Every structure is written in structure tokens, then in C-alpha cells.
A = this chain, B = another copy of it.
Amino acid sequence: MEVTEQVAALAQRPLKRGDSFIVDFGRHMAGYVSFKLSGTGEAVDSPVRLRVTFGEAPADVAVPLESYTGTLSRAWLPDEILNVDFLPRRVEVPRRHAFRWVKFDVIDTSPNFAVHFERIEARAVTSAIMEPAPLPAGTPEALRSIDRVSLNTLRDCMQTVFEDGPRRDRRLWVGDLRLQALTNYVSFRNFDLVKRCLYLFAGLPREDGLVAACVYDDPGPKCGRQFIMDYAVLYIAALLDYVKAAKDQQTARELWPVVRKQVELVSQFINADGLFADPGGWWIFIDWREELEKTASMHGVLLFCLKQAVELAGHAGQQADAAKYQALIHRMTAAGRTRFFDSARNVFVSGPQGQVSWASQAWMVMSGLATPEMGAVALRNAMKMPDAVRPGTPYLYHYMVEAMLLSGLRKEALDLLSSYWGGMVAAGADTFWEIYDPSDPMLSPYKSILVNSYCHAWSCTPSYFLRGLQLGRTAG
């Protein structure tokens, strides 16, 4: 994007049928756009028809939306058709949009007049009020940029809930919430918002008590009617993180029944051997990679969350439950080491074909099933294998970095963070994206980048690593 003139000059420029311009607001935001529209000419004698298109990324305002052939609803495309009756008038686009660039197309005036745009304003909204502390002195500029973009991402996703993305789908998802909350604790520190989200999930479960994968908060709180096995148990981790960060044991006690219910519902899929066995018919997320074999990862997620539950039981005063979980943890750890570790190749494998993936390594480490030494070897080996299934989303990249840190691979973790998130910064990102594959800039799970979300909460965790885990110090 090249700046051609300052926005104030627009007021002098008459625009007629077919004319257009793009305004760069200088930063990404979730918010509202308004402008004054006036007319000059022989007679301002008809309504004006405008199209306003909101771009998170330059492609959003550069690619004709008519070309859209993605799999998601066309209603996600971020454009508005506005008819304005009488000029001059202040026009407010009523919907909230996520944008940095806004394209204005004059579809039609009448032949007798042209329109002028003045005082084009954006009003950003967020519930990230507090100013984050500065990064430690000596943090390299490249990491400062990554931190800034991470915080922008989180800020614009923090609304009445932690949205996954302010463009799409503007929903609260368990898996995203956990990563946002972790970053929030070391930046904006809005504890009440996390608490509200935890209670929303607790209050809107499936009939049997399973935590929903997502909830809606508009026009009122509502269960999202989608259920993801790994997300349901990750609720436990999100709750423990909160209880520790906010020092709020009262909430731990109140929400303990939700924790117990998740363990009860999901641990039934641990078979007599102590292994996770996919019952079929469930959505197990882990990552967006169709080819990913998820058995080892799901085993790891559940084991990780059982350990979180044990720690949480201490805060909630639920030692009896904790003891039962400990027994399960032992069985799963022992069985998992045997089943998922390929001692010939020194990597964790999953499924009948022994698939190697970054996801399996990450979750074997996160769960503690891998010792740090095993983990370090497995992670390094898997990352060197060209056929290993790599992550599809920043969400899984987060757990890769976290697993590397747990395995003592600080330098490698920082390198991965710097190359992956730094790649988005180098590509001009203001906020981190839902999807990023350095080798495929047109990648979209929806078969069109026009509906990709370019401010997506699950990619905001570099600030957690840099601030909460002092990863930046590794750089020195």
C-alpha cells in the first residue's frame, strides 16, 4: 500500500459515479466508521449510493468481492451498501467492523453533483483498558515489533468477551480463550473479562454438562451448539490459569462441578489399557490439518488437563477428586509412553500408520508424558523430518513453542517464534492472523482469503512468551 495523499485533501476532491479511494487509518481496530458527506455542483438532487469495504489486510480492499467463491457465507464479506438521502449529512456505518483500510466507492450520485468526504473518523472499541508494562530494556526491536502486533491482536479481540476474531466469527471459543487469557494476565490484566467468559461457558453447557466449544454473546448469551473434545477439557486449564493469575479461589470452588463433569465425560474414552480411544463422531480440533492423526494429541491434551485439574483441586478443596485423577494420570502416562513413543526413531507417533506430527510432539510434552529429555529429542527430530505433519495454525504453533520451552529448547523456541510470527510482521501484519503459512500466502480453510480473519486471538501469545516467560532474554 502506497500513501498517495493525506486524508484532509479528500474534502477538496469531488467524487462521482465510479470514483473510489482507500483510507488507511494507520492501525487495525475493531470499531465504527463515520464521515461527513456533502455535495457540490449544479444541484445536489438525488440520493447517493456508496459502497464501503473494510479491510483488515490490503487484499480485502484490493480484490473485488464479486470474485468471492469461498465456502463461508457471502454475508461475512466486509462491505456495506449505503444510500444517503439528503446532503450534507454525517453518515455512520451502523455495524462494527474490523479494519485498518477502508475503501469508499461512489456507486452513483446524479450527473448534477459530486460528493465530498470530510472528517472521516473511526471509533475503536475494546475492553483492554489498562496500558501494558513496557518490555524489559534490551529486548531486541524485532521482538518488540512482534510484541506490539500481539498486543494489538489481543486488544481488538477483547470486547464483551474474548472474541476469536473481531471480523469473524466474533465468538468466544474455549481454546482461543485460554491463549488470550494467558496473554491478558501479562498485559492488559482484565481479570473480570476472563471470569465473565468462564461463567458464560459454565452457564451454557450441552444438556449432559459438556462445556460448549463456543458461546455467543449477542444478542444475548447463547450456547454455540458446537462441541470439541479437546476444547471441553482445556476449560480446566483456562480456569486454573485464571484462579492463579487472579488469586480467586472462590471461583475455583464455584466452578469445580464443571471441572468434574468434563473429566467424567471425556475420561470415559480412556480404555482399559489407559489409552485414549477415539469413540468416533466427535470433533477433536488440535489443529487445522485434514491429514493430522489426532489420537496421541488428544491423549496428551486430556492428560495435561487432568494434571491441571489436580492442581485446581488444591485451590477448590477437592482432594478426593484429585486422588482419582492421579490414578488415571499414572495409567495414561505409562500406557502413553509405550503406545506413542517410537524408540527406533525417537519421536512420538500417532495412529495405526505411526504418523509423525508436530502436534503429537507438542502435546506429549505438554502432558508431561515425555520427560524434558525425551521431549527435546522428539521435538528436534520431528521438526527435521520433511514428512512430519506441520502446524496449520498459530494456535498449534503456540503449543509447539510452549512445548519447546518445557523441554529446555529456549533458543529453538525463540527462533520459531521469531521466524513464524516475525514472518507475519515482515509481511506487513498489524495484527496476527488466523492462518499463516509462509509457503502459501493464499491459504484459506474457506477456499478464499477474503474471509480469512487477520486479527485472530489464538495468534496473540508471543506477548505471553516475551512477558510471562521472559523469552526475550534468551535473545541476549
Residues in chain A within 8 A of chain B (CB atoms): 17, 42-43, 45-49, 72-76, 80-81, 83, 85-89, 94-96, 107-111, 169-170, 216, 218-219, 224-226
Contacts and interface: CB of A to CB of B under 8 A. Distances in A.
Contacts of A218: 85-86
A226 B113 CA distance: 14
Taking each of A46, A47, A73, A88, which has the highest tally of chain B beta carbons within 10 Å of its own beta carbon?
Answer: A73
Q: Interface centre among A42, A83, A89, by most B CB within 10 Å?
A: A83
5 contacts: A47-B73, A49-B73, A81-B81, A85-B95, A86-B218
A156 B48 CA distance: 23
Nearest to A217: B86
A226 B95 CA distance: 37
A107 B45 contact: no
A43 B81 contact: no
Given A43-B226, A169-B45, A225-B43, A83 B89 contact: no
Nearest to A49: B75
A48 B75 CA distance: 5
A109 B219 contact: no
A89 B94 CA distance: 14
A76 to B, nearest CB: 6
A72 B74 CA distance: 30
Contact of A108 (B75, B81, B88): B75
A68 to B, nearest CB: 10
A111 B49 CA distance: 30
A42 B46 CA distance: 44
B224 A89 contact: no
Given A47-B73, A72-B110, A109-B73, A80 B80 contact: no
Contact of A83 (B47, B80, B83): B80
